[in-house]
Amino acid sequence: MLIYSCEKADLTTTSNVALNGQLTNRTVASCDQCPVGACCCSVEAYPASGSHSLRFCGTADGTPGCTDTNGPSPCNSISGGGQTIGLNSTVGYQRLYCMYPGNAFSIKNLSGHTVTIILSCQYDLTHPQKDTISIADTDTVWFSTDSGCAVAQCQ
């Protein structure tokens, strides 16, 4: 007796990759990998040189369970995904991540030097809002997004 089975396999893209046998998170490769209704955000090193490492907390992608309660109002209750984003000549100086509108997030500089970045959560729009900010080594900055995915720094 022979049984045949046909199953339609869905092609999915995961946000985890294996590194030395352990799963680790990575940034999204395109805006359509963001959850439905989420803002498509970009972070870009300026100038595009050197090697930079930034820890994001409160994103719609990344590893769940990241919280930050140290920010100023209205960024004093951050939760969501967490991920470390590297910007360098190997991976590129611009990376994408996802945010839910109306949520807050934090960025900590782990680079060992001051980093200047261009930040936008309207990456997929024709004329996105972009903010340029410098973050000193080990400092954290906090941002909120509005219903239109515009970013505002919490101070």
pLDDT (mean) for 51-74: 94
Q: What is the pLDDT of residues 29-38, one digit of tens each?
A: 889 999 999 9
Q: How far apart are CA 104 and CA 106, in angstroms?
A: 7
pLDDT top residue among 111 and 26: 111
Q: What angle do CA 53, 57, 59 make, to 5 degrees?
A: 110
Q: How confident is the model at residue 46 (pLDDT cuts 50, 70, 90)?
A: very high
Q: How far apart are CA 60 and CA 78, in angstroms?
A: 11
Domain boundaries, the chain: 28-154
Q: Are 56 and 106 in contact (CB under 8 A)?
A: yes
Query: Would you say the pTM of this structure is higher than 0.85?
Result: no
Q: What is the pLDDT of residues 67-103, one digit of tens each?
A: 998 899 889 889 999 999 999 999 999 999 999 999 9
**Cβ neighbours of residue 105 under 8 Å, at least 6 residues apart?**
56, 57, 58, 59, 75, 78, 80, 99, 142, 143, 144, 145
pLDDT (mean) for 117-124: 96
Q: How confident is the model at residue 4 (pLDDT cuts 50, 70, 90)?
A: very low
